[in-house]
Amino acid sequence: MNAVVAQFPLLIVSIIKIVVLLVIVLTALAYLSWFERKVIARIQTRWGPYRVGPHGLLQPLADGLKFLFKEDPAPLGAERFVYYLAPFLAMSLALTTFAVIPFGPQEIRIFGQRTPLGIADVNIGLLVLFAITSLGVYGVALAGWSSNSKYPLLGGLRSSAQMMSYELALTMSVVGVLLMAGSFSLREIIAAQQGRTWGFLPRWNIIAGPFPQIIGFFCYIVAAVAETNRAPFDLPEAESELVAGFHTEYASFKFAMFFMGEYANMITVSCLATIMFFGGWISPFPATPLWAWTLFLPTVLFAALGFYLIFDGLRYETILGRILLPVLGIALCALAALFVVFPGVNGFVQGPFWFLLKILVFLFIYVWARGTLPRLRYDQLMSIGWKLLLPLSLANVLLTSLALVLRQK
């Protein structure tokens, strides 16, 4: 093993990072469905997943087993190769985008090789990310065409028009950020947002000069929701009109792959919003002695959640809950103790902690919108993209350019 590592150090390190990231991301995708169902249930005054495991925590595992063992029919007139390729294409492209996302400013050491917190540190990371996500439309469009059925075909056509239309506004909405940062590197875009305005406000692009990117963020978040086919822009899978849209003829694990790809796109969009407009892994609190207590927020959060799980588990109704919840609570408390015993670990997790916390906020907004907003008509959807978002994003580019020129004089 040592000889292989010595001969191909970068390859071995990259494979290890890919495997670890895939395990984390796939687990997050499974529990994002649990999170969405729980939040929407609370909005609608329901319980949500509750019976499979304590608080429904084993529901994603049950869903995965169900998809694996369900009957997997295919239409007789389907274009077989493309029919089977489409869900794999949708999911694999969505997962590939995580390769260029940096998750923290620090570096780690694997087999003596220092490597950043991310798969690939590309100096044109934003271009690579947009290039990959722009191909995502093929998975949905090919699924609708290859099924040889009118409802999936209409859903695929709707999706093609919608995603290509909103991709223009999505791309233009971040040009203002690129002008302010002067780089396509995601790390350099985050680095450009370091520091404070007036001594206490973070220099995040959403509020920082010379021209705060409020318009750009509005265009980005609306276009991103439409680009990922989420409510209120989920017209390609409008079950009231198209049965289930482009995935009507899909079942079993192929059906699940489309939704895994959708959830992965949600996380990617949330990562990009965090990086482009909200400082990435930069803490919202100043690095001054007055705010030094904020360095212990990860410790306090893990410890509080751990004690809550222990207390909740001891009084849970089922035996499994009385075992599983306290075990999870003890694990979180041990993790919090690790932060206290080893200050270097606490310092290391600061960047990933704030990065992931901001992503969770955006994912909550995604779910909140689905649970509250009604679906738009298709003509309204296209009008918003072409008549509102695209002109606004172009105006944001012009105003940002003007502000930068005026500042240089």
In Å, what is the CA distance from 175 to each residue of 229, 393, 406? 23, 9, 18
In a domain, 273, yes or no: yes
Average pLDDT over residues 324-350: 92
- Looking at the chain, the whole-number percentage of residues with pLDDT higher than 90 is 57
Range of the domain at 101: 65-279+379-408
Phi-psi region of 112 (alpha: psi -120 to 50; beta: other; left: phi over 0): left
DSSP 388: I
Task: Please choose, from the candidates 131, 168, 228, the residue with its C-alpha nearest in 3D space to the C-alpha of residue 392.
Answer: 168
In a domain, 147, yes or no: yes
In a domain, 306, yes or no: no
Q: Tokens 């609608």 — which residue?
A: 44
The first and second tokens of residue 407, run together, are: 């500042």
Q: How many residues does the chain have?
A: 409
Confidence of residue 3 (pLDDT cuts 50, 70, 90): low
2 vs 26: CA distance, rounded Å: 30
The first and second tokens of residue 261, run together, are: 């790809």
Q: Are 227 and 166 in contact (CB under 8 A)?
A: yes
Sign for the CA dihedral angle at 138, 218, 363, 351 comes to positive
| Average pLDDT score, the chain | 89
In a domain, 190, yes or no: yes
Residue 165 has pLDDT above 70, yes or no: yes
pLDDT number for residue 122: 87
In a domain, 126, yes or no: yes
Number of structural domains found in the chain: 1
Coil, strand or helix at 183: coil
In a domain, 53, yes or no: no
| Cα dihedral 135/375/363/248 (nearest 10) | -50
Q: Are 143 and 152 in contact (CB under 8 A)?
A: yes
194-251 pLDDT, tens digit each: 988 877 789 999 998 789 999 999 999 999 999 888 888 887 666 566 567 788 888 8
The first and second tokens of residue 169, run together, are: 């506004």
Q: Are 375 and 231 in contact (CB under 8 A)?
A: yes
287-324 pLDDT, tens digit each: 888 888 999 999 999 999 999 999 999 999 899 999 99
pLDDT number for residue 175: 95
pLDDT number for residue 376: 85
In a domain, 39, yes or no: no
Amino acid at site 46: R
In a domain, 384, yes or no: yes
52-96 pLDDT, tens digit each: 999 999 999 999 898 888 888 888 888 889 999 999 999 999 999
Average pLDDT over residues 144-162: 85
pLDDT number for residue 222: 94
Least confident range from 27-31, 119-123, 281-285: namely 119-123
pLDDT number for residue 390: 94
